[in-house]
Structure 1
Amino acid sequence: MKLFTGPPLSQFSDRPEEARAETADAGLARQVSTRPARVIQIARLVSGGRWRVEAMRSISEPLLIWFTRGQGRITVGGVTRGYGAHNAVFVPAGVMHGFEVSPQTHGAVVFFGHGAPVALPKEPQHLRIREVAPQVEVSGLIDNIQRELDSGRAGSDRAAHLHLGLLGVWLERHIDTAQDSRRKPDAARKLATRYTEVLEREFRSGKGVAQYAQTLGVTPTHLTRVCKQTCGRSASDILHDRVIFEARLLLCETTMPIAQISETLGFNSPAYFTRAFQHRTGKTPSAFRRQG
């Protein structure tokens, strides 16, 4: 079976028309070596549908989510935690994640871009910033990055990268501060993280949970039990969420025929893909594409 090997489509853009053009037809097979940094408000990210942030997915660049209002749950690498106001969540490139949103959720997402010369953590981080001074500091850094990116003045890109570097320093300092109180991941969390890592690499293969469990050296029952323990969802639910997220992106942002999308994502037939997509979204792929 020929699988899709182009660049991941799950890279948010605040310019949907550019995203569609970039991923359409020949663009699907083009590897993107660089992608600029950007700052996008959470409200703008979800304007195209809550699935764009709530479904399990990964992107090929690091990002920082800064929540300023609201609360909910965020899942990173198969582990779910609650988030609230003044929480900073760093997600490295390629790590599967998704978070709940509500009308009360406010904040911004900083996308560091590809190849940015910024020292960043290697592992996911969830920081609860309780003191006012560092809250003001990180908000100011994000505002400065946004201001420079929007200004178009001479040297604005360089200035934005310098502020991104300062944001990296802010992360490093607060990770060090929180290090002593952070609990080491137990066996269940390690297994859930390994599952999401393997799933992210192979979700287009058509494999089921039993095959992923075999790769990880556990039974499907144990894998499901662990996923429910760490993030409140079954292994199958995480798998289907990731696949259908990719299907939505391909339907929204490319002109790829539905039959080809079905094959790309490892489904045995377009009819089976249609049933699975409709079960998950309440719409057929063609109806979803028309409304997108």
Structure 2
Amino acid sequence: MQDLSAASQMRLVAIPRLAAGGRWRVEAMRSISEPMFLWFTKGQGRITIAGVTRGYTAFNAIFIPAGVMHGFEVGPQVFGSAIFFGRNPTVALPTIPHHLRIRETHLQQELNLILDAMQREIDSDSPAHERATQNYLGLASVWLERQISRAEPEPKRPDAARRLVARYAQLLEREFRSGMGVADFAAALDVTPTHLTRCCKQASGRPASALLHDRLIFEARRLLTETDLPVGLIAGSLGFTSPAYFTRAFQHQVGKSPTAFRRAP
């Protein structure tokens, strides 16, 4: 696509391709700087958004705003599409996450047709294909808005545990580079570390420390893969007290040293 408009910032990617280069790219906790829409057409797994884990199946539509921490499983039988809207989307989008289960066949087909047409325009060199892509992106946002408006309301308001975990996930995303530990995050949230960990296990099946370590190691892997920064500088940028401590933590979770991970094909 030509670099002419907001359409040039968006991408439509097959979900299996998101894990190219390692499943950690989708499964580890992280956030991205643009809104994302996931449309699963086959398979099932679990997705964690803002510290809360749910199952997903075929014909689930999931919207994740920019800056919201998330991670999801992508097994060999999972198929679908992901729309990345770019950092400054011109279409109207929700401001909070949504997980929709689309049961009506005609609504499933409607979205599939929009995405197929969008992909054809992305691949095209016909006149005005960038504008056509943007128009299909607008149709996708309208489809999403309509499904949100007709979705059944949540059976109950999020309980106190989920609200706390959502606050933790939001704070963690802002401060994970600071060197703060779980006790520091708990103090900032005015709860005990034990209570925070209990709530995280209840909401996501994982302790608070696992969410923190996952976010840190994802960022470390990303920096090792996408930059030439020395390992020591990466360690310092992520709040580790020493490169040796960073190397031990990285190797414990990944099974390779940072240097070996960087050199791996």
Residues 38 and 62 in structure 2, CA contact (< 8 A), matched pair in contact too: yes
2:253 is aligned, of 280, 283, 286, to: 280
Partner residue in 2 for 1:90: 63
1:75, 1:98 within 8 Å by CA — same for their partners in 2?
yes
Query: Quick one: which of 176, 184, 189 aligns to 2:149?
Result: 176
Q: Distance in 2 between matches of 1:226 and 1:153?
A: 53
Cα distance in 2 for residues equivalent to 1:210 and 1:86: 40
Relative to the length of structure 2, the TM-score reads: 0.95
Equivalent position of 2:97 in the other structure: 124
Residues 224-263 of structure 1 mapped to structure 2, 5 A cutoff: 224-263=197-236
Shift in Å, 1:184:
2.2
Paired AA for residue 40 in structure 1 = V
Equivalences for residues 194-209 of structure 1 within 5 A: 194-209=167-182
Q: Which has the higher contact order (CA 8 A, sep 6+)?
A: 1
Deviations 1:248-279 (A, max 9, x none): 01001110001100001110000000000000
Please give the per-residue CA displacement for 1:97-131, whole angstroms capped at 9, x wherever unaligned: 00011111111110011212111111100001111
2:135 paired with 1:162: yes
Q: Name 1:139's counterpart in structure 2.
A: 112
| Selected match of 2:17 from 44, 55, 59 | 44
Per-residue deviation, residues 187-246 of structure 1 (Å, max 9, x unmatched): 111111111111001111111001011111111111100010011010000000000000
In the alignment, does 2:82 pair up with 1:109?
Answer: yes
SS in 1 for 2:37: strand
User: How much does 1:180 deviate?
Assistant: 3.1
**Kept in 2: contact 1:228–1:234 (CA 8 A):** yes
Q: Distance in 2 between matches of 1:190 and 1:165?
A: 32
Deviation of 1:152 (Å): 2.8
Q: 1:152 aligns with which of 91, 101, 125?
A: 125
Q: Is the 8 Å Cα contact of residues 68 and 87 (structure 1) preserved in structure 2? A: yes
SS in 2 for 1:47: coil
Q: Measured at CA, do residues 147 and 34 of structure 1 come closer, stay the same or move farther in structure 2, by a change above 3 Å?
A: closer
Letter in 1 for 2:48: T
Does structure 1 retain, via aligned residues, the 8 Å contact 2:7–2:134? Answer: no
In 1: Cα distance, 2:168 partner to 2:8 partner: 28
Quick one: distance in 1 between partners of 2:50 and 2:113? 29
Q: How far off is 1:179 after superposition?
A: 4.0
| TM-score, length-scaled by structure 1 | 0.86
Shift of 1:150: 1.7
State the AA in 2 paired with 1:209: V
Distance in 1 separating the partners of 2:26 and 2:174: 20
RMSD, aligned CA = 1.4
By how many angstroms is 1:153 displaced? 2.5
Contact 2:41 2:79 (C-alpha < 8 Å) held by counterparts: yes
Question: Is residue 57 from structure 1 mapped to residue 23 from structure 2 by the alignment?
Answer: no
In the alignment, the residues of structure 2 paired with residue 170 and residue 95 of structure 1 have an alpha-carbon distance, to the nearest angstrom, of: 22
In the alignment, structure 1 segments of 5+ residues that lack a partner are: 1-32
Distance (whole Å) between structure 1 residues aligned to residue 239 and residue 163 of structure 2 = 27
Residue 113 of structure 2 aligns to a residue whose secondary structure is helix
Structure 1 runs of 4+ aligned residues shifted over 6 Å read none
- Is the partner of 2:153 in helix, strand or coil? helix
Does the residue aligned with 1:198 lie in a helix, a strand or coil? helix
How many residues get paired?
260
Alignment correspondent of 2:3? none
Counting aligned pairs with the same residue, the percent is 60
**2:237 is the counterpart of 1:291:** no
What is the SS of the residue equivalent to 1:48? coil
